[in-house]
């Protein structure tokens, strides 16, 4: 089927099902272009709550669809690709987290939204890359257990007085961005600002002009006087950057900065998802209620965006 026909059929079915399409910035460009809303993890969670549609087609990885299903149980949340999971989320298991909590009695767990519903349910509060520092600082505790991203944990630790107990997890896509990649790109583009996602290694973040969530990086590029930017995150973000700042130039830090899971969703799968109402995200009710408490606590924390 031609792309134009695919898009028409998706639009027709969206009306018929009273559905909306939400997409993360790392999705394929053509998928972002048919979405009703494109955002970072925080904005996508907020949008899932705000939406009045009956059906949400979530173009992203599993934990993102799961968060929407946790926050909006009255809606049907569909994942066009059931195998699109986040490897970092899979690095924190429930049993290991329980053991870690036993080692640190009374210490609250802050869990990055890139985690399973069961891990969220076992945590006190969630955070995203957009609000991690504010979430940690909002807690009435001297120390916190931070799961699953050790790089985001290190970034937060550099911006808080609280003691951060990190977890041995990381995002393979961001972790393979190396300091030498940044130095090479800076040499090639000496005028460019380096913008980076906090899932990158500390030695990479040290070189950044701005560390922010995907949405935060777009806002910075739009508002900055600079004309060129080296993009230290999954290179799918360049589509969103060019849409909002078309007069500027963006350089992908390395061709290796690609998240295979985020690229699994294409237009054919979005159409199949609406046609067959697949794959419905479900979360057992006892887990959903406790995971929602952790997400709701996060959504109540005020941040400047
Ligand atoms: P954001 O919350 O910044 O969009 O990041 C999500 C993510 O998965 C980064 O790898
Ligand atoms: Fe997970 Fe990394 Fe992909 Fe984000 S970019 S979804 S953290 S693997």
Over the stretch 282-296, which tens digit does the pLDDT of each residue have? 999 999 999 999 999
CATH topology of domain 177-252: Rossmann fold (3.40.50)
Task: Calculate how far, in angstroms, residue 15's C-alpha sits from the geometric centre of ligand 2.
Answer: 31
Task: Calculate how far, in angstroms, residue 113's C-alpha sits from the geometric centre of ligand 1.
Answer: 9
**Distance between CA atoms of residues 70 and 211, nearest Å:** 29
Q: Which CATH number fits domain 3-85+262-282: 3.30.2090.10, 3.40.50.1100, 3.30.43.10, 3.40.50.10800?
A: 3.40.50.10800
Element (H, E) at 67: helix 62-71
**Distance between CA atoms of residues 176 and 9, nearest Å:** 38
Q: Are 107 and 144 in contact (CB under 8 A)?
A: yes
Please give the average per-residue pLDDT across 135-148, as a whole number.
98
Residue 4 banded pLDDT, cuts 50, 70, 90: very high
pLDDT of residue 81: 98
Q: Is 297 a residue whose pLDDT tops 90?
A: yes
CA angle 179, 92, 146 (to 5 degrees): 65
Please give the average per-residue pLDDT across 230-237, as a whole number.
97
Q: Are 17 and 55 in contact (CB under 8 A)?
A: yes
pLDDT of residue 304: 72
Cβ(213) to ligand 1 under 6 A?
A: yes
Q: Is 191 a residue whose pLDDT tops 90?
A: yes
Residue to probe by mutation, ligand 1, list 22, 23, 24, most atoms within 8 Å of CB: 24
Sequence ranges of the domains in the chain: 3-85+262-282, 88-170+287-299, 177-252
Cβ(41) to ligand 1 under 6 A?
A: yes
Residue 255 banded pLDDT, cuts 50, 70, 90: very high
Which residue has the least CA distance to atom 5 on ligand 2? 259
The DSSP letter of residue 9 is H
**Distance between CA atoms of residues 276 and 67, nearest Å:** 22
Which residue has the least CA distance to atom 6 on ligand 2? 86
pTM of the model: 0.96
Cβ(171) to ligand 1 under 6 A?
A: yes
Which residue has the least CA distance to atom 7 on ligand 2? 171
CATH class of 88-170+287-299: alpha beta
Query: What are 39's strand-pairing partners?
Result: 24
Percent of all residues in the chain with a pLDDT value above 90, rounded to a whole number: 98
Cβ(27) to ligand 1 under 6 A?
A: no
Question: Which residues contact ligand 2 via a Cβ below 6 A?
Answer: 61, 86-88, 114, 171-174, 199, 234, 259, 261-262
pLDDT of residue 5: 96
Which residue has the least CA distance to atom 1 on ligand 2? 86
Which residue has the least CA distance to atom 9 on ligand 1? 199
Cβ(23) to ligand 1 under 6 A?
A: no
Task: Calculate how far, in angstroms, residue 2's C-alpha sits from the geometric centre of ligand 1.
Answer: 31
Cβ–Cβ contacts within 10 Å for residue 214, how many? 25
pLDDT of residue 303: 83
How many residues make up the chain in this entry? 305
Q: Same topology for domains 88-170+287-299 and 177-252, yes or no?
A: yes
Q: Report pLDDT digits (tens) over 108-139.
A: 999 999 999 999 999 999 999 999 999 999 99
pLDDT of residue 302: 87
Task: Calculate how far, in angstroms, residue 16's C-alpha sits from the geometric centre of ligand 1.
Answer: 31
């Amino acid at each position: 089927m031609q792309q134009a026909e695919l898009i028409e059929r998706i639009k027709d079915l969206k009306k018929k099902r009273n559905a909306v399409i939400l997409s993360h910035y790392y999705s394929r460009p053509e998928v972002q272009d048919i979405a009703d809303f494109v955002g970072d993890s925080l904005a996508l969670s907020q949008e899932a709550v705000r939406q009045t549609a009956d059906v949400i087609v979530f173009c992203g990885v599993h934990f993102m669809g799961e968060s929407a299903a946790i926050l909006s149980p009255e809606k049907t949340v569909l994942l066009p690709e059931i195998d699109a999971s986040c490897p970092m989320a899979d690095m924190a298991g429930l049993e290991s987290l329980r053991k870690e909590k036993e080692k640190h009695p009374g210490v609250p767990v802050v869990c990055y939204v890139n985690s399973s519903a069961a891990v969220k349910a076992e945590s006190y509060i969630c955070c995203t890359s957009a609000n991690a520092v504010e979430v940690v600082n909002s807690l009435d505790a001297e120390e916190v257990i931070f799961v699953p991203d050790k790089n985001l944990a290190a970034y937060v630790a550099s911006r808080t007085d609280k003691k951060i107990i990190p977890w041995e997890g990381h995002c393979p896509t961001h972790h393979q961005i190396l300091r030498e990649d940044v130095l090479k790109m800076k040499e090639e583009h000496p005028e460019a600002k380096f913008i980076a996602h906090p899932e990158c290694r500390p030695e990479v973040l040290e070189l950044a002009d701005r560390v922010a969530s995907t949405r935060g990086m777009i806002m910075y590029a739009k508002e900055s006087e600079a004309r060129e930017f080296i993009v230290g995150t999954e290179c799918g973000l360049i589509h969103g950057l060019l849409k909002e700042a078309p007069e500027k130039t963006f350089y992908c830090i390395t061709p290796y900065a690609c998240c295979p899971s985020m690229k699994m969703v294409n237009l054919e799968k979005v159409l199949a998802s609406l046609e067959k109402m697949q794959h419905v995200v479900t979360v057992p009710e006892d887990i959903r209620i406790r995971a929602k408490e952790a997400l709701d606590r996060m959504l109540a924390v005020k941040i400047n965006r």
